[in-house]
Amino acid sequence: MTTIFPVEKQCAHCGRHSEHIVIGSTNTFGSPDLDTRPPEMMRSTIPHWVQRCPHCGYCNSDLDHLLPTAGQVMSSEAYRDQLVERTLPTLANSFLCLSIILAAQGEFTRAGWSSLHAAWVCDDERAAQGALHCRQRAASLFQEALASGQMIARQADASDALLVDVLRRSLQFPLALSLCEDGLRKHSDEIIKGVLTFQKLLIQRQDSGCYTVAQALGNA
Ligand SMILES: [Zn+2]
């Protein structure tokens, strides 16, 4: 089961206080999605993965901590606009604002993950265009991360499998196929190969839907 509780946080940017929900514990049962999104009950804890200061709009996974570029980025038009972007769910905007701060300080991997989290929020809210936008941003940031030598997953083969899924689900089929075929040539892990083989079929069908790892491996 999931346990959550309210805590008062002091915003590291403006110094003012607000109440937020933090996760005490949670669990997962079942298979993650191909982009690693966890199954329930952890899946439903996503509203508590990012905190937004109601006074100044600072967004971070923990408002107590100040990201070095926050002050500069938060005064930008891009950040202020993102906070109140009406075409996206508020929670997705919070994840994207965090992503903007992280990208500004060169943390492309974490920025990519925050954008992917925003996409998951859009999926849940059936905001298809929003999800597409967030995944395109995530794919671009993950590519930037890899180009600058940052890992986006613990292993290189898992990194490739993740990026293939984000590219496929953001309709970038030719690039997804190229990376998928490259991964199939390079990697020997049986699970990764099974996932990439399944991805290749989806890409060839131009299927941008959500599938689990268990479905990819024929266990669902
Ligand atoms: Zn604040």
Question: pLDDT (tens digit, 9 = 90+) per residue, 31-64?
Answer: 999 999 999 999 999 999 999 999 999 999 999 9
Angle at the Cα of 72 from the Cα atoms of 70 and 76, rounded to 5 degrees:
105
Residue 156 makes CB contacts below 8 A (sequence gap 6+) with: 187
Instruction: Report the pLDDT value the prediction gives residue 220, as an integer from 0 to 100.
Output: 67
Q: Confidence band (pLDDT; 50, 70, 90) for 219? A: confident
Residue 211 makes CB contacts below 8 A (sequence gap 6+) with: 33, 34, 198, 202
- Ligand 1 mean position, distance from CA 84 (Å): 16
- Ligand 1 mean position, distance from CA 152 (Å): 29
pTM confidence score: 0.97
Tokens linked to 32 = 């993650």
- Ligand 1 mean position, distance from CA 7 (Å): 15
- Ligand 1 mean position, distance from CA 46 (Å): 21
Enumerate residues with CB within 5 Å of ligand 1 (an ion).
Answer: 11, 13-14, 53, 55-56, 58
**Rounded to 5, what percent of the chain is helix, strand, coil?**
55, 10, 35
